[in-house]
Amino acid sequence: MARFTQAELQTYYGASVPDLLPADDQPLRLLFVGINPGLWTAATQTHFAHPLNRFYPAIFRAGITTRPIDASAGMTPEDRDYFRARGIGFTNIVRRATAKASELGNAELKEGGAELFSLVTKRKPAVVAIAGITAYRTAFNRPKAKQGRQPEPLAGAELWVVPNPSGLNAHETVPTLAAAYADAARAAGII
């Protein structure tokens, strides 16, 4: 596992993390969407990489991956290829790294929602899974949205809002996250 001092992590404020997507000529079956990169994620250039983030244990438990992946030090090229080959991609609503998602403003989330809509229009994933109900509500002006499958698609993709796996979302557990992620993955034909 990588180790960073607080001072080192602070240098990643505002950095971005590139999307991890299959090649343009390959199918994108399931697009996971985070709120925005955390500082650890920016430092490792790997989505959901913080050691306390439950994303990778949850997708393994859900059967989305067939092997455990430790992304806390950054993904290996083999890990990245594994996701691409399975038709799984990663992006964020907002590209700017912060220590907490609560540092984002509503205008920034709405702008990020418009950019996500453009990406989905271009790449045409079968299913989009946004990890974070509050950010989704703000970014897409859906104040009463609930977690789960949404009644309206996003640019033609089936849309799911799933729990955020951050350690700050303490009421979720690996089993509850796995169940929510499995529902979206089944819809995408991943499991």
Average pLDDT in the chain = 96
Composition of the chain by helix, strand, coil, percent to 5 = 35, 15, 50
Residue 157 sits in which domain range?
39-188
- The label of the residue with tokens 């290996």 reads 76
Q: Which two tokens mark 114?
A: 């418009």
Provide the whole-model pTM: 0.96
Closest CA to 20 of 3, 8, 37: 37
List, for residues 3-62, the tens digit of each pLDDT value. Answer: 899 999 999 999 999 999 999 999 999 999 999 999 999 999 999 999 999 999 999 999
> How many C-beta neighbours within 10 Å does residue 126 have?
17
Residue 33 belongs to some domain of the structure: no
Residue 145 belongs to some domain of the structure: yes
Residue 2 belongs to some domain of the structure: no
Residue 146 sits in a domain whose CATH number is 3.40.470.10
> How many C-beta neighbours within 10 Å does residue 116 have?
23
Residue 23 belongs to some domain of the structure: no
Q: Which residues contact 64 (CB under 8 A, 6 or more apart)?
A: 30, 88, 181, 182, 185, 190, 191
